[in-house]
Structure formats: C-alpha cells, structure tokens
Structure 1
Amino acid sequence: MADADADTRPNVLFVLTDQERYDSSTPDGPPVETPTMDRLSSEGIRFERAFTPISICSSARASLLTGQFPHGHGMLNNCHEPDAIRANVPDGLPTFSEELVAAGYDLTYTGKWHAGRDRTPADFGFSYLGGSDKHHDDIDEAFREYRTERGTPVGEAALEEELYTGDDPRESDEGTFVAAKTAVDVADTRAHFLAERTIDAIETHADGDRDGPFFHRTDFYGPHHPYVVPEPYASMYDPSEIEPPASYAETYDGKPRVHENYLAYRGVSDFDWELWAEALAKYRGFITMIDHQIERILETLAEAGLADETVVIHTSDHGDFIGGHRQFNKGPLMYDDTYRIPLQVRWPGVVDGGATCDTPVHLHDLAATILEIADVPAPDSFDSRSLVPILENGGEPPADLDWRDSTFAQYHGDEFGLYSQRMVRTARYKYVYNGPDIDELYDLAADPDELQNLIDHPEYADTRREMRERLIEWMHETDDPNRVWVRGVLENAS
C-alpha cells in the first residue's frame, strides 16, 4: 500500500552550462553534435526565445538565484574582480533555493558558483559536492584532489595547439588563454568529474538516504574559455570546414564606439578567420563533451528509476561571441550571440515531447518556475514569472494569461568600466539604449545578424518610438533605478 503521506512532488535536475550559445543545440544551427540536448528537446519543450537578463556571469547567476533583474539584487558585475559593485548577494534577499529547503526539498550542488565571493552554495541551502576552482570561487579542493588521485594533477598536463589573444597568438606570456588540446583522458576533465558527482547524488537519492524530493544543480565549467578539451573532442570539428557567421562581416559603421574598442581590449584586433575557426572548433568540441556528460547523468537517472518523477532543465547563464561580430567573450554589446540562451525542459507526464515555444522568457523566470513545480509560492520580491502554465499548455501561454511579447535586459559594465545599457527585444525588433553613445535599433526579420543599426533611419521612426515606450514600461515595472532620468531622455529623443 502506498504511503498516504508520501511527498509526490517531482524532483528537479538543473543543468547550467557556462557561456553556451543558443544556436549550438538548435535544429537549424551549426553542425554541433548535441544528441542529449536534442533528446531533451524531443522529450520536452525547447524554448526559442529565452534570454539572459544580463550577459555577465555573476550578475546572471544572482538573477537566477533571486528571481530578480540585476538592478534588484545589486550584483551588477563579476564578484571576483576588485571593482565588484557587490561581492555577494545581499543578506535577507529571498532566493528560490532557500524557499525550496523550507518546503522540504533536499538540495545538492556541484560545479561553478560565481554568485558570491564569500557566501557559498551552503549559505543558500545547498549541500555542496565540490568542483569549484581558484579563479572564480575557491570553495574547495575537490577537483584538484580527484586529479591528484588519478595521477594527473591540475596544471601538469601537457597542452598542444595553444591559442592566446594578443600580438602573438602562440605566446602565453601575454593575452588571454583562448583554447588548446589537453593530453589528459576525458575522465580527467572537470566536466567528467562534475558528472560523476551528479551521478553520486542521484544514486544517493535513489538509495533512500535522503528524505523528500530533491533538487540537484550541476554547473559545468564550459563551454566558457579557455576551450581546453582532450581527444576525441579536440579534433572532432575541422577548422577548415567551419564557415564564418554572417556577422563576421561586421564593419561597426554606425555602432557605439565601444564595440570596436573591445576588439583591442580583448586582444583580437588581428585575429583572422583561421584563428577564429580554430577556437570555434575547440568550443564546439567542448559543447559535445559536456553533452556526453549530461547523457551519463540522464542514463543514471533512468537506471535509478527516477526519470519519470524528475523534471530536467538545461540552460546557460549567457552565450559567447567566439568570432561573432569578430568579438571574443562578451561585454557591452547586446547582440543575440550572448543574450539568447538555450533552454529545454523535460517534465514527464506534464510536458508533451517535441514541442517548441516561441514565447519570450527570461533566465530568471526559472526561479519562479522551479518553486511552482515544487508547489511553493514565489516571494513578492521576484521579478520572474513561472513558466509552468506555458509548460502545461504545450508551449503556449493560456488564453487567460497576460504575457509580455518582449524581453528586457541590461548591462552595467565589467573590468572595462561602468557602461549602462538597457535592451528591449520583440520577435522582430531590438532596441538598445546606450547612455553615453548612440542607441541601436535592429530589424531582426530583415537583418537577423544585427549588422545594420537603424536608429536614425527615417522609415523606422514609428518603430523607434514604440520600442522606446516598451523600454520605459519595463523599467517602471521592474523599479529600475535609472527609470526617471532615462524616461526623459527617451521621450525627448528624436
């Protein structure tokens, strides 16, 4: 006889990649092998218009945790840098994880954190299972110990095909480390290690050693640069067969000056397509390697008998330029390369497999979504909206649900200095407000690669005005602190 008091709320397995482009796992995207992400799409819902609220790690991750736009939680740039506006998520700010713990969920976490310099996942209700690193988090030494036990200590593995930014792309004394092939086995990679820790957590839950439903979060360190991968992934994609994206033809004519400045700042002014193709080949190999590790995790979930009672969510904190617009990494450039993100949700018994959703959603909408899945009300402080009604309705908002037809995003600067931006995007148009420079307007139907800035085009005057009005509405609805003076600027602009 079933236990009448048994908790039947679903488990949640949340997989967050770091800097994964939206188009890497889309049917009409470049030829990247992502069989597991494709499987999640075929067995669940794939969101076609999911966007990060900000394209920088700490800020996006804090938004995911708090359900707020960055101006709400205040972590406006990366927490590990000396110019961090905030080193940690403020005390007393509600988070979805703490709400889950209070509601009886068992929370585990492995991998990258980067949402606080001093406060760790343990401060937000998670049991941390290891996998951090020194550059961003320095939470523990678990991965270093793992590598030492395997006889391949971190930092001692030979690298080949190294690529760096700067004047000499083969010289490690200057510039940023971009990509390389490593001599270690796949089992020595951090991606494999994080999958192992996730598998351990799933098996522990299956053995009944933990009470109640679980929420497990795996944060992969990748495909963020440096794109360092072993064989077979290092040579899986032939650079000579990779064609430049259409946005590689960027001239920066009519664009904010900071766009072109970033080429020199990132050290890629002299990168030709041969170098970009080499980096992109490693980036794609990194994605496929992570995809294969997610496959191991899903197989364990099925073998443990937990697949039917577990919601699986895969997304990324933001994207990556990797040669798009000839740029490296990310920055104050609000193109879809870094703001549009992958999102797949598999929920057995609730979500029809193979559905696609073109409703605009934000990364931090997942905070409210996860709470509703767990039958927990979202705190009033959340800006996010639960996607559960959309998931239950085949990917479409129910007729009685008022849902915005646009997304809102912002940027506040990073190590290059503060640079306030706001963006509103509909299915067809994107408007970017750049306080210290020219604004941007793109017709995404005519120019999906965002090459032509139409902000001063006379035939788009009505569109420009309408998009500015949408931006004002978003800023007021979210209590954006810049809303008062920005409204005056936008309303009086020609």
Structure 2
Amino acid sequence: MTDRRDILLLLTDQERYDVSAADGPAVDTPAMDRLAREGVRFEDAYTPIGICSSARASLLTGLYPHNHGMLNNCHEPDAIRPNLPEDHVTFGELLADAGYANSYAGKWHVGRDQRPEDFGFETLAREDTTEADGGFAAHQRAHGVDPDGIELEDEIYAEYAGEDLLVSATTPVPKEATLTYYLAEVTVDRLESAASGDEPFFHRTDFPGPHHPYVVPEPYASMYDPDEIPRWGNYAETFDGKPYVHEQHLAYRGVEGFDWETWARAISHYFGFVTFIDEQIGRVLDAMDRLGLDEDTVVVHSADHGDFTGSHRQFNKGPLMYEEVYHIPLVVRWPDAADAGRTVEEFVGLHDLMPTFCALAGVDSPSSVDGRSLVPLLTGDAPDDWRERLVAEYHGEEFGLYSQRMVRAGDYKLVYNAFDTDELYDLAEDPHELRNLVDHPDYREVYRELRSELGEWMDRTDDPIGPWTRRVLDKSADSQ
C-alpha cells in the first residue's frame, strides 16, 4: 500500500493511441507530450472492450465486461443491461468510504438511470446539462451564444439508418463557449477548492471528445490541411480474407461512398478536436502548477477506446477488433515515485486503473477484480508474473449481438470470431492489419497457441461462452 494520494483522471472519448504517440501522425499535443515527459507512458495499453458504456463500467469495477454484465451501450433499446448491477463494488465508492472527496465532470454513460452520485462522486458538470440545470447552457449564454441557434459549417454526413448522421463540422461558437472548454474550467475550479481543503481528493473529467461528431471551433477546425494528411496505411483495405461483416459495416455506418478526400476533411477535424482537448489539458496542468498541486497529485490520462476515423475505410467502431479502436493512450504522472520519461512495454488494460486507484488511496480492492494495480509497473518493479497476453472482448451493439475475443501476444494478434473466419495478424510484418494469416501454413503454430491461450483465459475469467467455445478452440488446435 502507499500513502493516500490526490488523484486526477482526465479521460477522453474515442481517442486513438497514435494521435499522441511519438511515431504517430503529426498532431499537436504539447500537454499530452508534457505528461509523457514528466510521467510514465504505457505503450501497450488496451481497452477491454471497444464500446463506451462497457469500457467505462470496466474502469469503475476493474472487471471484464462479461463479469460486470454491461455488454453493450446502456442507452440503446437492445441494451443487455440498462444499468450496472448494484452488487459490483466500484473504486468511487471505496475511495468515498475511505474519506476521499470524489468529484466528476463531463460524460458519464454508465447506466441509463444511474448517475455519478450512485458511485461515490459529486457531479460538478454533466455532458447532458439542460437549460433548466443552468451549467453549460448558462455558460454559453454568458458568452453570447444561443444554444439553440448554432448553425454549423462545412458539415460531412453519413447516411445512417435512413437518416443523415453528422460526422464532422466547424462550429462558429468561440472556443470559450464550447463544452470542452467549459469542462476544463470546471476542473480548474475544482482544483482550486481542493488546494485549500484538507481531504484527499479524486477528480475525474471525462471529455466527450474526440468522439464523433468531430465538431470543433476555429482555429482548430482549419488547423490541419486535409490535402496534407497522409492516407492511413490501411485505407487500402480490400477485405480479402476478412470476415464478411467488415465490408458490410461500411454500408451500415453509411460511409460506403466516402472517398479519401472526404475522410481527410473529417480527419482534419478529428485532429483539431484532439489538439483542442490537449489545450484544455494544458490549462489544467498549468493550474496545478499555479496551485502547488503538481508535486503531490497523481495525474492519469487515458481513453475509453479509440476510433476508426477512416482507417480500414471504417467509421466509429463496431465488430472489428483493430488496433485503432482497442489500443488506447495511457500516461501516468506520479512525481515522487515514478521516474519521469519512462515507458512501460507490459500489456495493461483500462480495467487495471480501478485497483491502481485503490492502491494509490491506500484502499484494498476486492479480490474478485480482473484488473491488477499498475503501481509496481509505475515504480519500476514489474512483477515476474505480470501478464504476457492481453485479451479483449466484444458483444455487439445495434448492428447485432455476437461474441468476439481478441488476444495480443508479442507481435501477434488473434481475433476469434464465432460467427465467421478468425483473424490472425503479425503486427511486426503487417502493422496495418491488412493480411489475415489465419490460413497461412507458416503461422499454424502461432494460431494454435493463441487459441489455446484464449481457452485458458476463458476458464480463468469465467467467460460465459467458455464452456462451448473451449471445445471449439481445443478441436481446432488439435487439427493444426
């Protein structure tokens, strides 16, 4: 256990790992870069599932989705569970019981009827604030903006379920009157009150971006020239040897007719959105410096999952377990315990943050959690038994419910598709995941080993599809 630390979590929604990576696209992220210089960057951090409600529930509980039960988004009519079961213990409740002053601002999306107060947090600002609530609507009006009179420019739409779905646009609203800016302002206010308080605090700000629609103000909307954005390496996707659902998903999401010029315009807004959020993170970090909180507060930046943004020609996320959606940013700044500028190469997951927060607060996490505290990795004392394989899952959404599992091991990646062909990628040779090697004779042993590993993971974690899937996996492995 450690002494009780003040903790700040800055969570983004659908932020790709590569946009702030050193070898990623040329996106301006000075604040995220600063956190990486002053903290520890996890190079192989993954979400346990590529959909919002499920990933956020895993963050709260430290459990894989099949163990906490929220398998898809809670707001949709096909939600398997509209709310997180009350018998699951969350880090918010544990920290609150230990005397932490927990607060929250931004996107929640865990539970159709549940709010942060149900999990030990005081709500300071919500994404869905209405005029009657004051908050953001009042903030906009104070900046001379009528929330109901905003006319967007340079819009791009997809045809989704017979209707136009906004993909990206420029807003004429000044940056100070945007939700992104407002949430940073609320966060700074919270830090100011925490600096004069005696209680340990945990604050989380959940920016509702860069999730689509990528609607950004100037100067960010025109910061990146679409003509200068290089094509994604996997934009050349042909779907040859891939599950049938991959190509079907283009039509379902309404981007079947998007050409690169269209995607480049949308990506330029996405990049601008990332830079805009980064600027707000910078405002928060500067406030911590000014308030003297920078040396005593653990700062964590991560995302619930990533975003295709035209990779593999796809939009949003879905039944495709590619790196753009599952590989997430994770940086932790812990000034007096974690060496600045270090990188960690061990596989870690978003669900590891729950026991990590408990450890930082001096609280025991439940023995039932699937995640593990990152504190040993942060302090440079990686356990000998740290995981060498990472597994993620997916259960479908409005496109249809189905089971998928993903295994990362070294440079190899297996996607188990119960409904279609499996996928096997060698990320060292094919980082863009264009070539499915599942039937390649040179990779038979890799395929067999990863399927065996998946079966063992299903047994260890009580995966409900394990009893019948294990027989399929074992039979296939024996036939290789």
| TM-score using structure 1 length | 0.94
Does the Cα contact within 8 Å between 1:472 and 1:483 map onto a contact in 2? yes
Q: Which residue does 1:42 correspond to in 2?
A: 37
Q: Which runs of 4+ in 1 moved over 2 A?
A: 137-142, 148-151, 172-175
* Cα distance change of structure 1 residues 181 and 384 upon mapping to structure 2, 3 Å threshold: same
- CA distance in 2 between counterparts of 1:92 and 1:484 reads 25
> Residue 472 of structure 1: which of 434, 455, 471 is its match?
455
> Residue 207 of structure 1: which of 185, 193, 196 is its match?
196
Q: Which residue does 1:96 correspond to in 2?
A: 91
Q: Which residue does 2:382 correspond to in 1?
A: 397
**Does residue 176 of structure 2 align to residue 181 of structure 1?**
no
Q: What secondary structure does 1:370 align onto?
A: helix
- CA distance in 2 between counterparts of 1:64 and 1:184 reads 33
Q: Within 5 A, what are the aligned runs for 1:250-399?
A: 250-393=237-380, 397-398=382-383
Q: Within 5 A, what are the aligned runs for 1:125-274?
A: 125-133=120-128, 142-166=135-159, 174-208=163-197, 211-274=198-261
- How many residue pairs are counted as aligned between the two chains? 476
Q: What secondary structure does 1:108 align onto?
A: strand
- How far does residue 148 in structure 1 lie from its aligned partner after superposition? 2.5
Does the Cα contact within 8 Å between 2:214 and 2:273 map onto a contact in 1? yes
**Percent identity over paired residues:** 58
- How far does residue 139 in structure 1 lie from its aligned partner after superposition? 11
* Cα distance change of structure 1 residues 184 and 155 upon mapping to structure 2, 3 Å threshold: same
Does the Cα contact within 8 Å between 1:131 and 1:141 map onto a contact in 2? no
Deviations 1:89-114 (A, max 9, x none): 10121001101011111100000000
- CA distance in 2 between counterparts of 1:95 and 1:54 reads 18
- How far does residue 203 in structure 1 lie from its aligned partner after superposition? 0.4
Structure 2 unpaired stretches of 5+: none
- How far does residue 380 in structure 1 lie from its aligned partner after superposition? 1.8
Structure 1 unpaired stretches of 5+: 1-6
- How far does residue 406 in structure 1 lie from its aligned partner after superposition? 1.4
- CA distance in 2 between counterparts of 1:131 and 1:162 reads 26
> Residue 71 of structure 1: which of 66, 69, 73 is its match?
66
Deviations 1:278-311 (A, max 9, x none): 0000000000000000011111111111111100
> Residue 456 of structure 1: which of 439, 442, 459 is its match?
439
Does the Cα contact within 8 Å between 2:3 and 2:361 map onto a contact in 1? no
Letter in 2 for 1:108: S
Letter in 1 for 2:204: R
- CA distance in 1 between counterparts of 2:418 and 2:157 reads 32
* Cα distance change of structure 1 residues 297 and 41 upon mapping to structure 2, 3 Å threshold: same
Does the Cα contact within 8 Å between 2:50 and 2:318 map onto a contact in 1? yes
Does the Cα contact within 8 Å between 1:120 and 1:139 map onto a contact in 2? no
- CA distance in 2 between counterparts of 1:392 and 1:138 reads 46
**RMSD over aligned Cα atoms:** 1.7
- CA distance in 1 between counterparts of 2:131 and 2:236 reads 40
Letter in 2 for 1:397: A
- How far does residue 457 in structure 1 lie from its aligned partner after superposition? 1.1
- How far does residue 158 in structure 1 lie from its aligned partner after superposition? 2.4
**Does residue 415 of structure 2 align to residue 426 of structure 1?**
no
- CA distance in 2 between counterparts of 1:461 and 1:9 reads 49
* Cα distance change of structure 1 residues 232 and 337 upon mapping to structure 2, 3 Å threshold: same
- CA distance in 1 between counterparts of 2:375 and 2:13 reads 24
Deviations 1:176-234 (A, max 9, x none): 100001111110111100001101100011122xx411000000010000000111100
Q: Which residue does 1:3 correspond to in 2?
A: none
Q: Which residue does 1:4 correspond to in 2?
A: none
* Cα distance change of structure 1 residues 8 and 360 upon mapping to structure 2, 3 Å threshold: closer
* Cα distance change of structure 1 residues 139 and 260 upon mapping to structure 2, 3 Å threshold: farther
Does the Cα contact within 8 Å between 2:415 and 2:424 map onto a contact in 1? yes
- How far does residue 155 in structure 1 lie from its aligned partner after superposition? 3.4
Deviations 1:355-408 (A, max 9, x none): 111100001100011110111111122111000001011xx614xx31111111
Q: Which residue does 2:119 correspond to in 1?
A: 124
Q: What secondary structure does 1:166 align onto?
A: strand
Q: What secondary structure does 2:234 align onto?
A: helix
- CA distance in 2 between counterparts of 1:375 and 1:207 reads 22
> Residue 24 of structure 2: which of 29, 45, 48 is its match?
29
Letter in 2 for 1:491: D
Letter in 2 for 1:28: D
- CA distance in 2 between counterparts of 1:192 and 1:339 reads 27
* Cα distance change of structure 1 residues 140 and 446 upon mapping to structure 2, 3 Å threshold: farther
**Does residue 406 of structure 2 align to residue 406 of structure 1?**
no
Deviations 1:8-56 (A, max 9, x none): 6220000000000000001110000000000000001111100000000
Letter in 2 for 1:458: P
